């Protein structure tokens, strides 16, 4: 097995300084490094596990991704894995030697630690299943997940197109969480779309130390990936709104060519048109030719998906039958609080909010209605939804 370059001495068991604490007399890059507590870089873990069996490679990368996402320091990560039949945890030195490949290079067995990682993973995923993630699997979400799976399985580039605020991001984030075993890397394209900002974002996600980034960051990022991984880039249309942003797409193509991983690029319909017919369309043809069939999402959230969201809050599907509620408002003339009846059909309000403000706002209204019903110790109803809707609007908008 190839010896990996280590970023932290294996016996460095002291936790890093508390994240956010000032580091005097240092450069911004060094200060950022001090604020990163989990310092085993993604390319180090990738190199250490590339020749292992699928089972061991998957769970080691999952554990590294778990610690990296939560920025766990040695003292924290060292309490997670228990020795079989014991309450004694493995030392950080042992865990670190498995993550970096040193234990295998020394001829020591990694099997007991790998088994402990499996036990810990089952515990984490069990907690996630019984917890309230708030995520609802819809028909649109299933289509997005299927496209991600296809890009991974076929080692191709998947494009997902759709208007803003219809649920692309929430489904991609949930997919990454559900497949967070060192396999799926989710990153959002930075505002402005510059390649420097994008590389820095990817470098941070993969825990590549900033002090080692100059000149070698692209190479180290590529070495974090292999054909068993998927890179999801959300808001990818931002690369096309800036003249130099196209360089980031060139890098994604290079990463795809060299690492052989799957890639998913999610963007708005406007970004789709810029990609296919804009100024850089000819230059981007090579990226486009590496695709699976693009997924074009509908312009609005399907009605059956909206019914699933309603059902999650114990509501029947929104109907065209008007509902009347009594609401309170502040009279601008007298300054007094007054009451007034407000009548609207739930289906009408649902359609309006989805069309004008997006799915996220509608889900917030449903959540506010559930909280209102809970406060009043009542069962949630469409009347509570109407009241939550009124509260979310300015008086001038509601009573116009």
- Overall size of the chain counted in residues: 400
SS3 assignment, position 342: strand
CB count within 10 Å of CB 220 equals: 22
pTM: 0.76
- CATH superfamily of the 139-296 domain: P-loop containing nucleotide triphosphate hydrolases (3.40.50.300)
So where are the chain's domains? Answer: 28-130, 139-296, 303-398
Sign of CA dihedral 160, 164, 166, 171: positive
Give the C-alpha separation, 127 to 279, whole Å: 48
Task: Give yes or no for a contact between 274 and 227, defined as CB atoms under 8 angstroms apart.
Answer: no
pLDDT, residue 137, reads 83
- 360-371 residues labelled b (16+ CB within 10 A) or e (exposed): eebbebbebbbe
Three-state SS for 223-286 is CCCCCCCEEEEECHHHHHCCCCCHHHHHHHHHHHHHHCCEEEEEECHHHHHHHHHCCCCCCCHH
- Find the largest Cα–Cα distance for the chain: 83
Which tokens in the block code for residue 64? 């590294």
Angle, vertex CA 259, rays to CA 297 and CA 184, nearest 5: 50
Residue with tokens 């069939």: 293
> How would you write the pLDDT of the chain (400 residues) with one tens digit per residue?
333 333 333 333 333 444 444 444 443 434 544 577 888 999 999 999 999 998 999 999 999 988 988 889 898 998 999 999 889 999 999 999 999 999 999 999 999 999 999 999 988 877 655 444 567 888 899 999 999 999 999 999 999 999 888 889 989 999 998 887 668 999 999 988 889 999 999 998 888 876 655 678 999 999 999 999 999 999 999 998 766 678 999 999 999 999 999 999 999 999 999 999 988 888 899 899 999 999 999 988 888 899 988 998 889 999 999 999 887 766 666 667 777 788 999 999 999 999 888 888 898 899 999 998 999 899 999 999 998 998 887 443 544 4
Structure tokens given for 44: 């180090």
How far is residue 278's CA from residue 275's CA, in Å, rounded to a whole number? 6
pLDDT at position 18, please? 41
Q: Which two tokens stand for residue 295?
A: 């997924």
Give me the numbers of helices (H) and strands (E) for the chain, helices first please.
Answer: 19, 7
Surface-to-core class of residue 392, CB atoms within 10 Å of its CB (0-12 exposed, 13-18 middle, 19+ buried): middle
Q: Are 185 and 259 in contact, with CB atoms under 8 Å apart?
A: no
Q: In the prediction, which pLDDT does 333 show? A: 63
pLDDT of the residue at 127? 64
In whole angstroms, give the CA distance from residue 296 to residue 293.
9
How far apart are alpha carbons 130 and 147 in whole angstroms? 27
**Residue 260 — φ and ψ, nearest 5°?**
70, 20
Instruction: Give the pLDDT of residue 329.
Output: 62
State the Cα–Cα distance between residues 107 and 91, nearest whole angstrom.
18
| Tokens 């088994």 -> residue | 115
């Amino acid at each position: 097995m190839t010896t990996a370059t280590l970023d932290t001495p294996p016996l460095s068991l002291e936790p890093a300084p508390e994240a956010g604490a000032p580091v005097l007399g240092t450069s911004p890059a060094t200060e950022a490094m001090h604020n990163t507590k989990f310092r085993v870089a993604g390319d180090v873990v990738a190199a250490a596990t590339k020749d292992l069996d699928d089972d061991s490679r998957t769970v080691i990368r999952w554990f590294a991704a778990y610690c990296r996402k939560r920025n766990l320091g040695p003292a924290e990560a060292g309490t997670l894995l228990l020795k079989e039949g014991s309450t004694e945890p493995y030392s950080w030195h042992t865990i670190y030697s498995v993550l970096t490949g040193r234990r295998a290079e020394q001829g020591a067995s990694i099997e007991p630690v790998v088994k402990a990682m499996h036990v810990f993973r089952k515990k984490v995923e069990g907690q996630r299943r019984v917890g309230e993630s708030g995520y609802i699997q819809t028909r649109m979400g299933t289509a997005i997940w299927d496209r991600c799976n296809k890009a991974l399985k076929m080692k191709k580039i998947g494009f997902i197109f759709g208007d803003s605020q219809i649920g692309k991001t929430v489904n991609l984030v949930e997919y990454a969480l559900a497949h967070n075993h060192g396999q799926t890397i989710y990153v959002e394209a930075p505002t402005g779309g510059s390649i420097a900002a994008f590389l820095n974002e990817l470098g941070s996600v993969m825990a590549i130390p900033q002090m080692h980034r100059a000149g070698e960051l692209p190479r180290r990022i590529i070495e974090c990936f292999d054909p068993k991984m998927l890179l999801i880039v959300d808001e990818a249309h931002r690369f096309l709104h800036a003249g130099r942003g196209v360089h980031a797409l060139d890098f994604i193509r290079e990463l795809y060519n060299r690492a052989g991983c799957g890639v998913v690029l999610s963007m708005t319909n406007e970004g789709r048109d810029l990609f296919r017919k804009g100024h850089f369309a000819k230059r981007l043809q090579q990226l486009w030719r590496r695709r699976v069939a693009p997924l074009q999402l509908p312009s609005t959230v399907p009605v059956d998906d909206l019914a699933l969201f309603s059902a999650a809050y114990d509501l029947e599907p929104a109907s065209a039958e008007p509902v009347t509620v009594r609401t309170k408002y502040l009279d601008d003339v007298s300054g007094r609080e007054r009451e007034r009846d407000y009548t609207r059909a739930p289906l009408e309000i649902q359609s309006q909010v989805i069309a004008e403000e997006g799915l996220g706002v509608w889900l917030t209204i449903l959540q506010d209605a559930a909280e209102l019903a809970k406060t009043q110790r009542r069962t949630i109803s469409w009347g509570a939804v109407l009241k939550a809707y009124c509260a979310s609007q300015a008086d001038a908008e509601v009573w116009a």
